[in-house]
Amino acid sequence: MRELYSQLKQLFPLGELTEQRQDLAFVTVPQEHLRSLLLHLRDREGFTHLVLLTAVDWLEDNIFQLTYLLTNREQQRTLGLRVMLPRDAATMQSIHDIWPTAATYQRELREMFGIAFPDSPRVDEEFILEGWIDIPPYRRDFDTLKYAEENYSQRPGRVTHDPAEHMKQKLYPGGT
Amino acid sequence: MKEELQKRVIKGPDGVEFEVEPLRDYYCEAPPTVMPGAYIQIVEDLFNWARAESIWILGFGTGCGAIEMRPLMTPRFDAYRYGVQWRPTPRQANLLMISGYLSTKTLKRAIRSYEQMQSPKYVVGLGSCTINGGMYWDSYNTIKRLDDYLPVDLYIAGCMPRPEALLAGFQDMKKLIRAGKGEGANRYAENFDWYKANQKRVIHDWDMPDYSW
Amino acid sequence: MTDHAPLFTPDRSQYPAHKADGTLDIDLASGKYLKLWQGPNHPGITGNMSVELTVCGDEVVEGKVHVGYLHRGFEKLMERRTYIQCFPIVCRICVPEPDFNEYCYAAAVEELAGIKSPERSDWIRTLILEMGRINSYMMYLGGQAGSLGLGVIAQWTTYVRDLMLDRFEELTGARIYHMFILPGGVRDGLPEGFEKRMEETLREMESTMQDVYEVMFCNAVFKKRTVGVGYIDPALLDSYGVTGPNARAAGVAKDVRKDHPYLVYPELDFEPVIGHDSDIYTRADVRRRDVLVSIDLVRQILAKMPRSGPLMASVPNVLHWKIPRGETYVRGECSRGEYGYYLVADGSGYPRRVNVRGPSYTHAMTLLERLIVNISISDVASLMVSLHTYPPEIER
């Protein structure tokens, strides 16, 4: 992985390499270089399998992290590319022409995180949700419990315990 | 509104042009009505006996519970010996099994399937997620109590209920029907406005007619 | 099969043209096309999903897959549950084969928390995963035969699947959702006499598989309906993210058990099953032979596994379990392909983000939409089943 990283480093401005396992590493890529890096990895380095494309919401830092996970089956290694996007009006270029299956991932991200992928096929159609009226649900500032309580009638009698407090009460009744 | 629901002019293969307005032409315009019992109690009892012994289930697996229906159709558990069988279309079914959590998207389809069934018809909620939300009590996409949206006759608790529990549930359902308590369709017709209001509160893009049988 | 002229040649000059943006120019008002919804309550659908077909005559010109009927928002729910509270809900993501969720989640958490599961628990995990794989294939074989009207196969396979569920019940106490593989190890060891009863079940299963072979795979109707239908070009495998038996039927030995060995698979002796014709028949055949491989693997595991030793690694107090910041991806080969969990921890007691990579995600969406074009309506069901998709892992 180190070897591949130093080769790539000469061609692209990359961030630090995080080696999670022997066969798995993550690296940060600037947004504008992602496409050429993906093409390079797919055509030159044998990373032909797009495992997944997903996003992580870092609300505190006001950024979205997009993760593109690629696998090279012959050399049995997996590389994750992280792209940091500003959270406001997040837009990313589509990669559906490199991997057609990415179109599905981009539809999901558009719906669940509100990240725009211009030119991706059918990206603005409803994918999972239907008639959604709130902010995209996978964003950190969306409170699913509050939404559920406001929108769905609950059957009375359901109690929720804090697990730590509840176990303490149960194991040491009256204790501190 | 979806493209296929819009009013349009269609030219048939024989060259005749005609106008189609799907929401008006394809659906019924009247709300359901209460179906009175037979004129004499003994006849109604006979009807109920017949209904109880032929529970035909709509094969609509709305959630995880559907996987335990498969063993019931095979010789090991064999629900057919109780007169229970699965039908592929709502028109032939009289029991709608809500097999688990209902997302709002499926709720819409479940309502239409229910309304297309012939009276008298029954609803069984399967699994704790239909009773009070179960595991998905804080989910933004599933309903928490089924009886607000459809007239439920019986709940079978469990996550998920075993085939034996389902068989016991069928037996209880039979007892209810024979006792003349399977009046879900009439309750639905009586409180139609209340049910519709509840349904519309959670289905935000209501692009179907109110009556679809 | 002999070469013969097709009985009916569709008049494709009537078919819609492509517009500049690549979509089809379908004019519903022309009366030439019919929009047909298959599902969600259609018996020929693999679970609660639907396909919006546009047909010309009886041939499909466009198919759009609609999913989301089973969306519960797991990835959101897990963000507000502690690591141990996530454990009972992950198995609900995929109903017919829930154990992979438990394994991938447990392995991802262990990796980020720096825990090593004991060796004996790894053997039991492998045993459970292989048993789950057999169950899932049994569901598939019944569905594949049922989609072409051979109802009796489903009766047999559901029965032997039930026998396997009994073994699951002995081992874990539950039929469908086992909740057995938890972060740190497994809940319990094998019960007494388990090997003997398992051997009986496996024998029963083998004899059923022989029957299935004779009745289903040697059946002229089944061959006629499936040979040469639903061909996946091997060149498409990577660009469409095809994994598992669907890829192996196209001649590529993609198998996570061999490519990225996990658990105790390096110590077991097996070869990935490969087919070459990449049509519905080959995919069914690959899965049938894979069942036999799994049966053999279960025997090997029971023969080789250690009988004593710890079952749980020492895990911190789960009520106050905080996992340091990091991200990882853990994968396994489930009956449908590569199953993976992408887990991001941010140092708190709750996962920051969990993403489930189900194999159906790519198979049932882009791949199916491509394969469904130009096949007859009556083949849609068997094509869908042959990709072996389970909708809940698409939308979670």
Q: Does A136 touch chain B (CB under 8 A)?
A: no
| Confidence class for position C11, pLDDT limits 50, 70, 90 | low
The band of C321, judged by pLDDT with boundaries at 50, 70 and 90, is confident
Per-residue pLDDT tens digits for B133-175? 888 888 888 888 888 898 999 999 888 888 999 999 999 999 9
In sequence order, which ranges of chain B are alpha helices (DSSP H)?
Answer: 22-25, 41-52, 69-72, 104-116, 128-132, 163-178, 184-190, 192-202
* Statement: residue C295 has pLDDT above 90: yes
| Average pLDDT value for residue range B10-28 | 77
Contact C171, C135 (CB under 8 A): no
Distances (CA, A) of C255 to A99, C63, C262, C283, C289: 21, 29, 11, 15, 14
Structure tokens at A49: 């399998």
B105 and C69: CB-CB below 8 Å? yes
Inter-helix orientation angle C194-212/C151-172, to 10°: 170
CB-CB neighbors (< 8 A) of A129 in chain B: 105, 141
- Kindly state whether residue A36 falls inside one of the protein's structural domains: yes
CA–CA separation, C24 vs B21, rounded Å?
Answer: 24
Residues A29-49 have pLDDT tens digits of: 988 888 898 998 888 888 888
Mean pLDDT along residues C201-221: 91
Among A52, A97, A98, A160, pick the best mutation site for testing chain C contact (most C Cβ within 10 A): A52
So what's the pLDDT on residue B145? 87
Tokens 């740190």 identify what position?
C184
Task: With respect to residue A176, please indicate whether it lies within any of the assigned structural domains.
Answer: no
| Residues 6+ positions from B95 with CB-CB distance below 8 Å | B55, B56, B57, B58, B121, B122, B123, B124, B173
> Chain B residues with CB inside 8 Å of A111's CB?
none
pLDDT tens figures, A44-58: 888 888 888 999 988
Residue C61 near residue C13 (C-beta atoms within 8 A): no
* pLDDT at B10 exceeding the cut of 90: no
Distance between CA atoms of C334 and C259, rounded to whole angstroms? 13
The Cα of C328 is separated from the nearest Cα of chain B by a number of Å equal to 26
For residue C202, pLDDT over 90 is answered with: yes
What distance in Å separates residue B129's CA from the closest CA in chain A?
11
Q: Do A153 and B145 touch (CB under 8 A)?
A: yes
CA dihedral sign of residues C19, C23, C26, C28: negative
> How far apart, in whole angstroms, are the C-alpha atoms of residue C74 and residue C87?
12
**B15/C contact by beta carbon, under 8 A:** no
> Tens digits of per-residue pLDDT, C361-387?
888 888 888 888 888 888 888 888 888
Q: Which residue of C has its CA nearest to B63?
A: C70
Q: Tell me how far the alpha carbon of residue C279 is from its chain's centroid.
A: 18
The Cα of B20 is separated from the nearest Cα of chain C by a number of Å equal to 10
Which chain A residues have a beta carbon less than 8 Å from that of B137? 148, 154, 158, 160
Amino acid identity of residue C184, one-letter, is G
At residue C67, φ and ψ (nearest 5 deg) are -125, 180
Q: Which amino acid is at C257?
A: R
Instruction: Read off the pLDDT of each residue in C79-106 and give the average, rounded to a whole number.
Output: 88
C1 pLDDT above the threshold of 50: no
What's the token pair of residue B145?
A: 């109590």
Binary contact (C79, A129; C-beta < 8 A): no
Cis preceding linkage at C139, omega within 30: no
- Is residue C156 over pLDDT 50? yes
On chain C, the residues whose CB falls within 8 A of the CB of B135 are 88-89, 92
Q: A: neighbours with 3+ CB pairs under 8 Å?
A: B, C
3-state secondary structure of B10: strand
* C31, C48, C176 member nearest B62 (Cβ): C48
A133 contact residues in B (CB cutoff 8 A): 204
Q: Which two tokens stand for residue B190?
A: 């009586």
> Best of C37, C42, C52, C92 to disrupt the B interface by mutation (most B CBs within 10 Å)?
C92
For the stretch C173-185, pLDDT in tens is 888 888 889 888 8
Nearest residue, CB atoms, C68 vs list A56, A67, A127 = A127
Query: CB–CB of C75/C354 below 8 Å?
Result: yes
Instruction: Indicate yes or no: CB of B64 within 8 angstroms of CB of C31.
Output: no
Contact B138 C77 (CB under 8 A): yes
d(CA C167, CA C134): 12
CB contact under 8 A, A131 and B203: yes
In eight-state DSSP terms, residue C30 is G
Residue type, B129: C
**Which is nearest to B185 in space by CA: B142, B121, B93, B135?**
B121
Give the Cα-Cα-Cα angle C146, C152, C155 (nearest 5 degrees): 95
The whole-angstrom distance between B172's CA and the closest CA on chain C is 23
- Neighbouring subunits of B (3+ Cβ pairs under 8 A): A, C
Q: What is the mean pLDDT of residues C124-152?
A: 89
Q: Edge-to-edge strand order for the sheet containing C50-56?
A: C34-38, C50-56, C59-66
The answer to whether residue A85 sits within a structural domain is: yes
Domain CATH code at residue A119: 3.30.460.80
Complete domains list, chain B, with CATH: 38-201 (3.40.50.12280)
Query: Phi and psi at residue B86, in whole multiples of 5°?
Result: -105, 140
3-state SS, residue C311: coil
Which position has the higher pLDDT, C265 or C16? C265
Rounded Cα distance, B110 and B70, in Å: 20
Q: Which domains can be identified in chain C, with CATH numbers?
A: 74-395 (1.10.645.10)
Q: Which chains form contacts with chain C, at 3 or more CB pairs under 8 Å?
A: A, B
Q: Into how many domains does chain A fold?
A: 1
ipTM, two decimals? 0.88
- The predicted pLDDT at position C196 comes to 92
* Residue from C83, C242, C262, C327 whose CB has the most chain A CBs within 10 Å, to mutate: C327
C195: pLDDT strictly greater than 70 = yes
Range of the domain at A134: 2-171
DSSP secondary structure letter of residue A139: S
- Cβ within 8 Å of A, C 332-391: 338, 340, 342, 344, 352-353, 355, 357, 361-362, 365-367, 370
A130 to chain B: which residues are within 8 Å by CB? Answer: 104-105, 108, 205
Q: In this structure, which amino acid lies at residue B40?
A: I
Is residue B87 over pLDDT 90? Answer: no
Confidence of residue C199 (pLDDT cuts 50, 70, 90): very high
Which residues of chain A does B1 touch, with a Cβ-Cβ cutoff of 8 Å? none
Amino acid, res. C124: I
Is the minimum CB–CB distance between B134 and chain C shorter than 8 Å? no
Report the distance separating Cα A71 and Cα A99, nearest Å.
13
Element (H or E) spanning A78, and its range?
A: strand A77-86
- Residue A152 and residue B143: Cβ atoms within 8 Å? yes
B64 close to C95: Cβ distance less than 8 angstroms? yes
Phi/psi-derived region of residue C144, left when phi > 0, alpha when psi is between -120 and 50, beta in every other case: alpha
Tally helices (H) and strands (E) across chain B.
Answer: 8, 7
d(C-alpha C35, C-alpha C54), whole Å = 5
Q: Which of C232, C206, C188, C243 is nearest to C361 (CA)?
A: C243
Burial of C325 per CB tally in 10 Å (0-12, 13-18, 19+): exposed
- Model confidence pLDDT, tens digit, residues A90-139: 888 888 888 888 888 998 898 888 898 888 888 888 888 888 888 888 98
Those residues with Cβ within 8 angstroms of residue C100's Cβ, 6 or more apart along the chain or in another chain: C94, C129, C132, C332, C334, C339
The sign of the CA dihedral A146, A147, A151, A157 is: negative
The count of C-alpha atoms lying within 13 angstroms of the C-alpha of C84, restricted to the half-sphere facing its C-beta, is 12
Interface test with A, best of C365, C370, C387 (most A CBs within 10 A): C365
How many CB atoms are located within 10 Å of the residue A121 CB? 18
Are C40 and B135 within 8 A, CB to CB? Answer: no
pLDDT tens-digit map of B92-135: 899 998 888 888 888 888 888 898 888 889 999 988 888 888 88
Asked if residues B104 and B199 have their Cβ atoms less than 8 Å apart, the reply is: no
pTM: 0.89
From B132's Cα to the closest Cα of chain A, the distance in A is 6
B23-57 residue pLDDT tens: 777 777 778 888 888 888 899 889 889 988 889 99
